[in-house]
Structure 1
Amino acid sequence: MGYVPNYKNDIFVSYAHVDDVPVPFVQTGWVTTLIGCIKTRLAQRLGRSDAYTLWMDYELAKHVKLTPQIMDALQQTAIMIVVLSPGYLASDWCQREKATFMQLIKAHDSRVFIIERDMIEAEDCPAEFQDLIPFRFWVREREGKPPRILGDPIPDKEDRAYYSGVDEITYELANALRALKKKAHTGTDDEGHQREHLPMVYLAEVTDDLEQDRLGIKTYLNQFGIDVLPNTCYSQDPAQFRQCVGRDLEKCAAFVQLLSAYAGKKPPDLPQGYVHLQFELAQSGGKPIFQWRSPLLDSSAIADANHRALVFEAPTVRAEGIEDFKRTIKEYVLARSVPEKLKPLDAFVFVNMETADRPLADSVCEVLRRHGIGYSLPLITGDPAEIRHDLEENLIDSNGIIIIYGSSTAAWVRRQLMACRKILSMRERPLRAFAVFEGPPEQKVQVDCLLPTLQFLNFRKGLDDALLERELRPLIGKLVKEGA
Structure 2
Amino acid sequence: MPPDIFVSFAHVDDQPVANQQQGWITHFTNDLRGELNRRMGRKDNYHFWKDFRLQGNTAVTPEIEQQVRHARTLLILFSTGWLASPWCQKELELFLQSHPDVNGRIFVVELERFQQDHKPPIIQDLLNYPFWRVTDKDRVRQLGYPVPQATDSAYYERLVDLSHDLANAIKLLQASTAEPVDAPKATVYVAPVNDSLYSQRQSVISELRQFGIEALPRANSHKVAEMEALLAQCSHFVQLLDANYTMGVPCDQHFIADAAKKPILQWRDPKLDYSGGHVPEEQRQLLEGKTVIAAPLSDFIRMVREAVLPKPKPPDDETPKVNGEQMVFVHASQDDFERARGVAKNLQRRGYGIALPRYQGEPERIRKSIQRGYQCCDVLLLVYQKAPAELVEDYLSEAKVQTLQRDTKPPILLCQGDDAEELYFIPPGVKPLVCQGDFDQHCLEQFLAEVEA
The interval holding the TM-score normalised by the smaller chain is 0.3 to 0.5
- Larger helix fraction of residues: 1
With structure 1 as the length reference, what TM-score do the two structures score?
0.43
Q: Which has the higher contact order (CA 8 A, sep 6+)?
A: 2
